[in-house]
Chain A
Amino acid sequence: MASVSVQNLSKKFGSTVALDQVSFEFEDGKFFALLGPSGSGKTTLLRMIAGFENPDQGSIQIDGKVVDHIPVEKRDIGMVFQSYALFPNMDVQANVGFGLRVRGISASETKRLVGEALELVRLSGFDDRRPHQLSGGQRQRVALARAIVTKPRVLLLDEPLSALDRTLRLEMEIELKRIQRDVGITTIFVTHDQEEALTMSDQIGILNEGQLVQHGSPVDIYENPQSVFVARFLGEANLLKGQVDGSSVNLEVGGTIQTRSKPASPLVICSIRPEKISIHKEKNIAPSSSNQIAGRVNEHIFNGTSLTYLVQCGDQVVRVFVQNLSGELIAPNTPVHLSFRPEDTLVFPDA
């Protein structure tokens, strides 16, 4: 177990910039999720921490010690690969025990530790199976048991759940989090599923085109995104263009609103999360300090516990989530008023 710190990592493959000056730090025992669209450099960063790739620039520290020149096999990391990479010629026992075998640990001790690890991932009794005799979820657990049985300092996971179907994935998310908490191991988890990142991690780092555009706690990033990209990538956001007029913004879809911070450029994009908007049939029902815009219901989607309204405001559709409190729906084509607080109205310069 250890803290991890990464400074100014850069990497190019030919002319593609895979990583560009990435720096972050996080503490011992924490669960860190690396989130980003495809091709943003997540795998490259993870493989660099593992030692499979050499950075062109920058440095990596584990537990305060520079590991740049330590080869993979001496870095004391555990890794779970996207394809699981279980050894097909070995049974579960031998797969999980592999890391112990290369360390020269005795057969009886290996058996005991492998038994413990299999118990942790709830696969006791599967010792003699070959990888091809296991289901996807079981393979994933074997890969996890194999990675943690040597008690590595850092656990690295590259989209370990992406090959599973949704139900199994949700189940494995909970399992993985439980195991991580039980073992208390520092974990870096790559995903491009924002929900996974939000529910599982202590910290999230968001990568875009090789740059770490923001990192922080899930709540912090969700509530205080620092760019349109982050606002849109983590959770949903309604983006409304507007022009600055003094301290307020005139929206293209109509209406003048107040924003959380002072707009910094004449043309701006305002971002409002769908669940921070309330929808009314009458005007002026919201507190007068609220922002208000007018629209017309296009469609409603009933989800049971909640409702999603698609509201036409000018030439744009605004999504609104409301809790299903009354069981009453607002019918399509009804004129409505949307209100939201200035604190929930984020403003970004329009590039």
Chain B
Amino acid sequence: MNFLKWTGRTYLVCILLFLYVPILVMVALSFNESQLYRLPIEWSTRWYEALANNSKLHSATLNSVTVAFLSTCLSTLLGTAVALAFFRYHFRAKRLLQILIFPPITIPWLIIGTAMLVFFFWVGIGRGLHAMVLGHVALSLPYVVIVVSARLKSFDSALEDAARSLGASYWQTTLWVTVPWLMPGIIAAALFAFAVSLDQFLISYFLAAPGVTTLPVEIYTAIRKGFTPEINAISTLVIILSMLLLLGVSRFYRFGGRD
């Protein structure tokens, strides 16, 4: 028993180290004075100060946030509607549609990105932020559907029946009874979608118009040109933001198990 407990704990610690050591190293180095990773670390915030004057990173950040915000709004709205439709209606193609929703999670992004690029050019959407928004909606939609559907599983549909028996129309029932009850799920789904969009590199890389990029793409370009600890600094900021988002998700969405 004791042995099992200890192996369990060691295992857990190893996983956490594996996940977080590279990140911690990067965070530490972002505060290092030296550009060449000289140790010991000399405390400095010069890379953060450098960030303040990097207008390219600023516009890339703004683009990232804009794309993430718009695609989150769209995919949350659409995904919630899809989840509700799956919950309420029984139709012949439902099973098939439910299956078709998920491939974007499993198909390699490289392939999806290529397909989108080809398709967007073919139909005349082209490249640019608007194309990225559409691409990110397609990517985050399955996550929204999964998270909202999970919440709907424990929804008592008698609540909708009750609302209708009291004279509420379809929309009144949805907006006043179903959606308020789904709210924690919807918020979690939106945070998920936001994180998916913010972290997305490949699709954004493919769909970026020349000169208009998102933060991950900009970081990648910067690394190729020659690495500076400035990248460590901006990455640290992105990590903090992502962690906050995930904390938000876990606040609204149980990842399994009990509290």
**A-B interaction:** yes
Tell me how far the C-beta of B154 lies from the nearest C-beta in chain A, rounded to whole angstroms: 11
A50 vs B165: C-alpha distance in the bound complex, in angstroms?
7
Q: With an 8 A cutoff between CB atoms, is B167 at the interface?
A: yes
Distance in angstroms between the alpha carbons of A284 and B253 in the assembled complex: 79
Known: A73-B167, A88-B181, A150-B167. A81 touches B161 (CB 8 A): yes
Interface residue total, chain B, C-beta cutoff 8 A: 17
Per-residue 0/1 for A63-78: is the Cβ within 8 Å of any B Cβ (1 yes, 0 no)? 0000000011110111
Q: B166 at interface (Cβ–Cβ under 8 A)?
A: yes
Tell me if B156 and A85 are in contact (CB < 8 A).
yes
Within A86-129, which residues are at the interface with B (CB < 8 Å)?
86-89, 98-99, 102-103
Assess whether B177 is interfacial by the CB under 8 Å rule: yes
**Across the interface, which residues of B come within 8 angstroms of A73, CB to CB?**
164-169
Whether B166 pairs with A85 at a CB distance below 8 angstroms is: no
Q: Is B25 an interface residue (CB 8 A)?
A: no
Give the interface centre of B158, B166, B168, B177 by most chain A CB atoms within 10 Å.
Answer: B166
Contact of B167 with A83 in the complex, beta carbons under 8 Å: no
Taking a contact as CB atoms closer than 8 A, the residue among A74, A76, A85 that contacts B162 in the complex is: A85
List residues of chain A with CB within 8 A of the CB of B177: 87
- Flag whether B180 is at the interface (Cβ < 8 A): yes
| Interface membership of A190, Cβ < 8 A | no
Instruction: List the B side residues contacting A30 at CB < 8 Å.
Output: none
Residues of chain A from 215 to 267 with CB closer than 8 A to chain B in the complex: none
A102–B161 Cα distance when bound, in Å, is 14
- Asked whether, in the complex, the Cβ of A79 is within 8 Å of the Cβ of B181, the reply is no
Please tell me if the beta carbons of B165 and A79 are within 8 angstroms of each other in the complex: yes
Interface residues of chain B: helix, strand, loop or mixed (majority)? helix
B24 within 8 A of A: no
B250 within 8 A of A: no
Say yes or no: A102-B156 contact (C-beta < 8 A), given A85-B162, A89-B180, A150-B166: no
A52 within 8 A of B: yes
| Alpha-carbon distance between A146 and B161 when the two chains are bound, in angstroms | 13
Contact between A89 and B165, CB atoms less than 8 A apart: no
Residues of A within 8 A of B167 (CB): 73-74, 76, 99, 102-103, 150
B163 close to chain A: CB less than 8 A = yes
Contacts of A98 in B (CB 8 A): 163, 166, 168, 176
Asked whether, in the complex, the Cβ of B166 is within 8 Å of the Cβ of A81, the reply is no
- Least CB distance, B162 to chain A, in whole angstroms: 4
Contacts of A74 in B (CB 8 A): 167
Cβ contact of A102, chosen from B158, B169, B180, cutoff 8 A:
B169
For residue B182, give the distance in angstroms from its CB to the closest CB of chain A. Answer: 10
A71: chain B residues within 8 A (beta carbon) = 164
A78, B165: Cα distance in complex, Å: 6
Q: Mark B176-212, 1 if CB is under 8 A from A, else 0.
A: 1100110000000000000000000000000000000
Q: Output the least CB separation between A317 and chain B (Å).
A: 43
Chain A residues whose C-beta falls within 8 Å of the C-beta of B166 in the assembled complex: 73, 78, 98-99, 102, 146-147, 150
Q: How far is the CA of A103 from the CA of B167 in the complex (A)?
A: 7
In the assembled complex, the Cα of A77 lies from the Cα of B162 at a distance in Å of: 11
What chain B residues lie within 8 Å of A83 (beta carbons)?
156, 158
Of A85, A89, A103, which one neighbours B158 at CB under 8 angstroms?
Answer: A85
Given the complex of chains A and B, what is the CA–CA distance between A76 and B165 in angstroms?
8
Q: A150 CA to B169 CA in the complex, in Å? A: 15
Task: Verify A102–B172 contact, CB threshold 8 A.
Answer: yes
In A50-64, the 8 Å CB interface with B consists of 50, 52
Q: Could you pull out 12 A-B pairs where Cβ atoms are within 8 angstroms?
A: A73-B164, A73-B168, A78-B165, A81-B162, A85-B159, A85-B162, A87-B177, A87-B181, A98-B166, A98-B176, A99-B168, A102-B172
Residue positions of B touching A, CB distance < 8 A: 156, 158-159, 161-169, 172, 176-177, 180-181
